[in-house]
Amino acid sequence: MLKVLAPAKINLTLEVLGKRPDGYHEVRTIIHAIDLCDVLELEPALDIQVKADIAELPTEANLVYQAARLLKEFSAYPQGACLKLTKRIPAAAGLGGGSSDAAAALRGLNKLWRLGLSTEELLPLAAKLGSDVPFFLYGGAASAEGRGEQVTPLRKGIKAWVVLLEPGLPRLPDKTRQLYTSLRQNNFTRGEFTAKMADALAQGHVLNAALVFNAFESVAFEVFRTLGDYRERFLAAGADWVHLAGSGPTLYTLIEDKQKAERLCESLTGQGLKCYLAQTLDQRLKSV
């Protein structure tokens, strides 16, 4: 049996430049993996089977199944695999759990089936599965553009503790599409936050909170009507700043000092809130 870790991610920047002729939006973003991980276990089987520890995860609709089916068709591999998914990343929370699971399936099956495909050969398959999936083939820190599928790994990331607050709000149908639709012309930027953040990381600077930016924050606090209350509670508990993770509704802050991060997480948990403590990851997690 092969076990693969599928890490969550945060966006240090997430800029939307405008709508493209194909109907998608052009983005520029800095993405950073963190060590809050789902676990995917794989073993040989006659056909594709996917099991999960949460009943509400549909089999054929989830990205792990789609990734496995896509790779089997691409490689013409004659048999299959049983894939068992243990979820630790909150679903539909802006942390990329589904996309990371799909990338873990591609990486894991490539090894289990001994296909010998390179990351570059897996990238077109990842892009078919979703805009965030290519990033998770690399992990660590990276910049991305286009729909998010054009990924450039960064040599340096940041080292920090990540405190995540998952509000547990009701799921919105087509959440990301709804947020993109809510954006207006004055919410679009030119990629300047992403360029400055990439330069700062390349030079090894300590993270400048003033460079953290998420275009969805201009609309998310209207779409998720009680999200602002959670941000205020996060700040009141001791966070110096709070930003939206991806398309939300998870909120996060970064803290260099472990004890301060632990105290903040304990304070939020003591209020009955769902809090996660993680660290940033400099490189892709290997199979374990």
pTM: 0.94
- Digit-coded pLDDT (tens) for 73-106: 999 999 999 999 999 999 889 999 999 999 999 9
The three-point CA angle 236-263-36 to 5° equals 100
**Is 3.30.70.890 the CATH number for 161-279?**
yes
From the candidates 3, 9, 175, 258, give the one annotated as an active-site residue. 9
Give the torsion sign (CA, 116, 121, 123, 124). Answer: negative
132 among known catalytic residues: yes
Residue 251 CA to residue 266 CA, distance in Å, equals 16
- Alpha helices for the chain (secondary structure H): 63-75, 97-112, 119-129, 133-138, 175-182, 192-202, 217-223, 227-236, 258-270
Residue 269 CA to residue 263 CA, distance in Å, equals 10
SS in 3 state form for 27-87?
EEEEEEEEEEEEEEEEEEECCEEEEECCCCCCCCCCHHHHHHHHHHHHHCCCCEEEEEEEC
pLDDT under 50 in the chain at which residues? Answer: 287-288
What local confidence, expressed as pLDDT, does residue 132 receive?
Answer: 95
What local confidence, expressed as pLDDT, does residue 205 receive?
Answer: 75
CATH class of 2-153: alpha beta
229 among known catalytic residues: no
Residue 94 CA to residue 92 CA, distance in Å, equals 6
- Can you give the residue ranges of every domain in the chain? 2-153, 161-279
From the candidates 72, 101, 132, 175, give the one annotated as an active-site residue. 132
| The two domains 2-153 and 161-279 share their CATH topology (first three levels equal) | no
